[in-house]
Amino acid sequence: VQPRAGGANAKRLLEAEQAARRAIEIQSTNAVAYDRLGAALEERGMSSTDIELAYRRAIELDPQFAVAYVHLASLLRKAGRRGEADPLYTRAIELAKDAPTHVLIGEALQSEQRWIDSEAVLRRALQIDANSPGALYFLGRSLVVRKVYDEAEQSLKRAIEISPRSFAPFSV
């Protein structure tokens, strides 16, 4: 589902959608397949109703699947349905057990300009994995936006030490 350079994204997204649908045919109770279907549909710009149904089905199949809560919450916020989205973010944060899931939540919150909210989630990610380059990067980015430059610099420098080939921390 991740976009790539080279102009073949539409084809890749269609393939991702088809792969998710095939996974659902093989195992109709696979929450990850429904979540990936929703992500592929969302990236393709398809009907928000179909996307929402896919994410809701993922949550129905696995109520402990934090990633699906994040995806659904983000979709609902984009649709102006904040009252429905916020409890889903809260639930995702409650369910998140690993640093990558916390980073995903933090990134989603930042995409909505919710900088302070993202910081708490990213700090929790760093408690779990102090060397998470994603958590360090997104925390640094939030701190730059909020003009807390000393702490931002520390976070971004640490992200660069851990992942020296990553472009994003250098640019921020």
Measured in residues, the chain has a length of 172
Model confidence at 11, in pLDDT bands (50, 70, 90)? confident
Give dist(CA 143, CA 41) in Å, integer.
33
Does the pLDDT at position 3 exceed 70?
Answer: no
Interaxial angle between packed helices 9-26 and 31-44, expressed in degrees from 0 to 180 and rounded to the nearest 10: 160
Amino acid at position 168, single letter: A
Q: Which residue has the higher pLDDT, 102 or 9?
A: 102
In the predicted model, what is the mean pLDDT of residues 115-128? 97
Write out pLDDT tens, residues 34-73.
999 999 999 988 889 999 999 999 999 999 999 999 999 9
**Residue 113: its pLDDT value, please?**
94
Cα dihedral 53, 57, 63, 65 sign: negative
pTM: 0.87
Is 9 a residue whose pLDDT tops 80?
A: no
Q: What is the mean pLDDT of the chain?
A: 94
- CA atoms within 13 Å, Cβ hemisphere of 147: 0
Separation CA 53–CA 34 (nearest Å): 9
CB 66 within 8 A of CB 101: yes
H or E element at residue 150: helix 149-162
